Structure 1
Amino acid sequence: MKKDGEMKWVRTKVDLDKHVIVPTLHHTIDSPDKTVEDYISNLSKTSIEFSKPLWELHILNLKTSDAESIAVFRIHHSLGDGMSLMSLVLACSRQISNPEALPTLPVKKSSNPDPVNSGGIWWTIQLVWNTIVDVLMFVATALFLKDTVTPLSGGQEKGDGLGSRRFVYRTVSLDDIKLIKNGMKTTINDVVMGVSLAGLSRYLNRRYGEDKEDKGATEKKNNLPKNIRLRATLLMNIRPSPGIHALADMMEKGSKAKWGNWIGSVLLPFVIALRDDPLDYVRQAKATIDRKKHSREAIFTFFIIKMVLKLFGIKV
């Protein structure tokens, strides 16, 4: 609600009929998985009405390859970030073995001491330098530094804007990912990003080779332009207490696991290249992620965005 030109939160009554949506779907659909993807893609073309609480639950009574039915939560980011909303969803869930008990939250134990508190002077110097470079790169990107126009740009290449978004999901074996993680002594995120690097590199190489005469042979050759600048915006939790916490703990006054939007932005570069050894993609991903961990870019971008919103408003 707007009051004196500013957006204000107001108390209201929740009408579930306006929030819980059960569309009519034909059970004779040839491809249920694609139907779900199309449905979610169409949702991305519209926005939630501000005249009601900013959340929706879409229940798709459609059997897919992974589930008997699908529930799609559509929640406005103003209500909270991923950590906050995950805590809320878990608070609405119960254990199968004990329907009265809340789900048990995993506790991550870390035995690595903080190098700053341990007196790592060189580590601290690198941290400061990396942070300065990353923040300057973030500001430059916001003002003028753009990514290379590639087949991944879609409508942006023609100046059509972002266009509609499509969410395509695939189920992969976590055991396979853990096997690579343990063998290379990396993290699950390193392996997932390495797979993404490999997929993007091979896809772009194939697309850039489509205009050549021998398409089959060109897929095995390097058709990639030099110095492709391709980056992703990664949102990071900047709370003093990381991980998912119980909803009651997040709502407690003075808690380090604060409710709301406590996320900073990080520009994550993708090194697009063809490599003979597929594991080199994982090694490259680990190097990139380790470098980003050794920076306070997320904290500074959080305060930069907060300051811009305070000075120029939410519609800037």
Structure 2
Amino acid sequence: MEVKEGLEPASPRAQYFNSSVLSVFIMGVMETEVPITINDARTMSLLKDVFLPINPRFSSIMVKDRKGEKQWKRIEVKLEEHVNIPIFPTDLSPTSYDEYLEEYISKIAMEQFSQNKPLWEIHIVKYPTSNAAGTIIFKLHNALGDGYSLMGALLSCLQRADNPSLPLTFPSRQQSEIKSYRGSVYRRVSEHFSLIFNSLSDFGWSMLKSTLIEDDRSPIRSGDEGVECRPTMVASMIFSLDRIKHIKAKLGVTKNDVITGIIFLGTRLCMQEISYKSSESQSTALVLLNTRMMTGYKSIEEMLKPNSKGPWGNRSTFLHVPMPKFKDHRSSNPLEFVWTASKIIKKKKSSLGFYLTGRLLEIVKKLRGPEAAARFMHRTMRNSSMMISHVIGPEEKVALDNHPIKSLYFLGGGLPQNLLITIVSYMGNLRVSAIIEKGFLDAQKFKSCMENAFEIILKAADEIPI
């Protein structure tokens, strides 16, 4: 983008996510194996020499130019204003510190970013919990970039624990099969007609879901205003990536299909336990899709190249995926949740509905301004029941300044939904985190149902003959 008067134009999505209607962010959480011994001077040095150079936006604030358009403006960063080291009572048990950490994460999730300084902060929790010797939290505004960009930035600050000189590796992602257009004219015409029909159908359905049709109120959706400002709790589950691949091979689907099917089944089981009638409720998940079409994370240098297919910024969109109901299936086969999710997602990915939705947002922005586009996005999220976001993590153990990372996960915030699911892979496992409005849904019940759904689907897949 062209830079004028020292200002860099903010992307449309950056303006949507940092508006009076929406203020969306992610928190990357790293759990360390050893106590955190980084002192203040070392922390400032790492931020100055490693973190800030990743992207100019980490040293910029969002301002309006003479025409009212939002721009990024470089400023002098006061690092001490971005570093937070909470003080908890001393000599408590790890389980007690679990509660303090949970309350602290909920607290910082409700706090808004100051617009007078760059939109990021780091929190260093030096108290041992039942899961880790220490916890490091990066809170990053989504105006800086999408989850792919921001997680890529955090990963670029890490090194392999076994050999820092070697690059990080990530699980391979199968390329989409390239359709063959050989054959009869009739077949080619039929495929093009199907693409057009699916695209218009998806676009029309997305428009209805974003404007007129709301999901039913249910145990996972209150339908209330302002839920993005309420306290939350986090329920985390760890699933074996090898077992996910085993289910994938047995069912002939993708890993994402398996994960989505498990989430759908677990959510329906939880809803049914709370209210049996809710098994028939109309519930929709917004599944985030990254449009970069890449096999894994590129280096930050590659991401910043103008001609790169995966430049820094916001290049994600969402798919409206209706959650299967128990009554939809003539049998009680739990694998139907995976197959149904696979069928729906495959169909939506093969259409241009998400592209048309993006173009519509651009038109709304041009005609009515970024605030109107932000209201459209807010309504889209509010009308659905949950959000599912998935990023790829490294295969080997990583370390931050010689602090081995035992586990890592990310959380989302600022979304007008009672339930958000985030997924990240790391060292052969999938960390699934449910961010749940506190007091609305029992986090432990949800976790139990999700783990039960995984075991049910795994057992059903094992019974399929080879």
Task: Give TM-score, length-normalised by structure 1.
Answer: 0.84
Is 2:371 aligned against 1:315? yes
**Counterpart amino acid of 2:339?**
R
Distance 1:111 1:177, change over 3 A: closer
**Counterpart amino acid of 1:75?**
L
Cα deviation code 1:33-81 (max 9, x no counterpart): 4443332222221211111111111122233343322222211111111
Deviation (angstroms), 1:265: 2.3
State the match for 1:147 in structure 2.
Answer: 215
State the match for 1:235 in structure 2.
Answer: 288
Is 2:324 aligned against 1:271? yes
Identity of aligned residues (%): 28
Distance 1:178 1:106, change over 3 A: closer
Distance 1:184 1:262, change over 3 A: same
Distance 1:286 1:31, change over 3 A: farther
Cα deviation code 1:262-282 (max 9, x no counterpart): 122221211132662222222
Distance 1:19 1:163, change over 3 A: closer
Higher relative contact order (CA 8 A, sep 6+): 2
Is 2:111 aligned against 1:46? yes
For residue 56 of structure 1, the aligned residue among 110, 114, 121 is 121
For residue 92 of structure 2, the aligned residue among 13, 20, 28 is 28
Cα deviation code 1:207-249 (max 9, x no counterpart): 224xxxxxxxxxxxxx4464x2211222211235464211111
Residues 289-298 or 120-129, more deviating: 120-129
Rounded to whole Å, the distance in 2 between the matches of 1:178 and 1:8 is: 44
Deviation (angstroms), 1:162: 4.3
Deviation (angstroms), 1:160: 5.6
Query: Secondary structure, in 3 states, of the residue corresponding to 1:58?
Result: strand
State the match for 1:136 in structure 2.
Answer: 204
Query: Secondary structure, in 3 states, of the residue corresponding to 1:151?
Result: coil
- 8 Å contact from structure 2 (residues 102, 234) kept in 1: yes
Deviation (angstroms), 1:96: 2.7
State the match for 2:18 in structure 1.
Answer: none
Rounded to whole Å, the distance in 1 between the matches of 2:315 and 2:176 is: 25
Distance 1:308 1:202, change over 3 A: same
State the match for 1:181 in structure 2.
Answer: 248
- 8 Å contact from structure 1 (residues 265, 298) kept in 2: yes
| Gapped regions of structure 2 (runs ≥ 5) | 1-62, 373-466
Distance 1:16 1:147, change over 3 A: same
Aligned length: 300
Query: Secondary structure, in 3 states, of the residue corresponding to 1:128?
Result: helix
Residues 256-265 or 49-58, more deviating: 256-265
Query: Which structure has more strand as a fraction of its residues?
Result: 2
Query: Secondary structure, in 3 states, of the residue corresponding to 1:73?
Result: strand
| Gapped regions of structure 1 (runs ≥ 5) | 210-222
